[in-house]
Amino acid sequence: MSVALNEVAAVILAGGFGTRIRHLLRDLPKPMAPVAGRPFVEWVVRYLAHQGVTRVVLSTGYLAEVIADHFIAHPIPGVSVTCVPETTPLGTGGGVIHAARNAGGTPPAAWLILNGDSLVFADLSRAVQALADSSVAGVILGRQIEDASRYGTLATDTAGNLLSFQEKRPGSGVINTGIYLLRHELLDEFPAPRPLSIEQDVFPSLIQRGRRLQVVPTDAPFLDIGTPESLPQADAFISGNQSQFLI
């Protein structure tokens, strides 16, 4: 069954503690790091809006009220933003389930899952197009890089189906960008334990159940602000890509 972008709702995982850069942010949660005049997570929402996504759910945790207060005071035209806080750490997979089940409204055809501390200027319509194949249960955006030592890599078969997540290792590889598009009904197949990791628990379980997860490559610009070395690069990254945002 095909899916359109206006039938997709996004879950942004914005509950992390940001341990590696907390000394740079003081009393702010990592997704609220000020970048080019706005919190970083607002740029993520504006990127989604530019792509045509109009419904966004923020899965929050550490200092959740700071994020919620910001979007109440600074709404983004044409975008519904709902914050769903965790009262106990649920992991990335648990956070998705909690956010999706407590966001209210009609369930979307598919959930777009991404991180509140990274940006990949991928064309999301390519992920949507992959779901036109009814045998594809979900899509993972992958990116080929020369040095994958900071990231885990994706192992796929010749058809581009995910086989496994591989541990961090030196050398080139296709890394996981942390952007997933999953059919709504797939959330019912997430394993029960909490906390729950998408990469370590959910996807291996789905593969074992025979669900087809397609890796769609992108060569789009990518930035993760989660280290003291990468955070200072964010201003130039955002300022140099203004055409990617709803302004």
Q: Determine the pLDDT at residue 52.
A: 95
Q: Is residue 88 part of a domain?
A: yes
How many angstroms separate the CA atoms of 153 and 142, rounded? 9
How many angstroms separate the CA atoms of 213 and 181, rounded? 10
The stretches of 62-132 forming alpha helices (DSSP H) are 64-73, 91-102, 124-130
Give the CATH number, domain containing residue 82: 3.90.550.10
| HEC secondary structure over 207-232 | HHCCCEEEEEECCCCEEECCCCCCHH
Structure tokens at 170: 């030196």
169-183 tens-digit pLDDT: 788 889 999 999 999
Site of tokens 């997430």: 190
61-87 tens-digit pLDDT: 989 999 999 999 999 999 999 999 998
101-120 tens-digit pLDDT: 999 999 999 999 999 999 99
Measured CA distances, 182 to 3, 111, 118, 200, 202 (Å): 11, 5, 19, 16, 12
187-199 tens-digit pLDDT: 999 998 889 999 9
Q: Determine the pLDDT at residue 185.
A: 96
Q: Is residue 119 part of a domain?
A: yes
Q: Determine the pLDDT at residue 60.
A: 96
Q: Is residue 230 part of a domain?
A: yes
Number of domains in the chain: 1
Q: Determine the pLDDT at residue 148.
A: 87
Q: Is residue 96 part of a domain?
A: yes
Q: Is residue 125 part of a domain?
A: yes
- The whole domain housing 106 covers 5-139+178-194+208-241
Taking the model in full, what pTM does it have?
A: 0.94
The residue-averaged pLDDT of 89-96 equals 94
Q: Is residue 152 part of a domain?
A: no
Q: Is residue 246 part of a domain?
A: no
Residue 167: pLDDT band with limits 50, 70, 90: confident
Q: Is residue 44 part of a domain?
A: yes
- On average, the pLDDT of the chain sits at 92
200-245 tens-digit pLDDT: 999 999 999 999 999 999 999 999 998 889 999 999 999 999 999 9
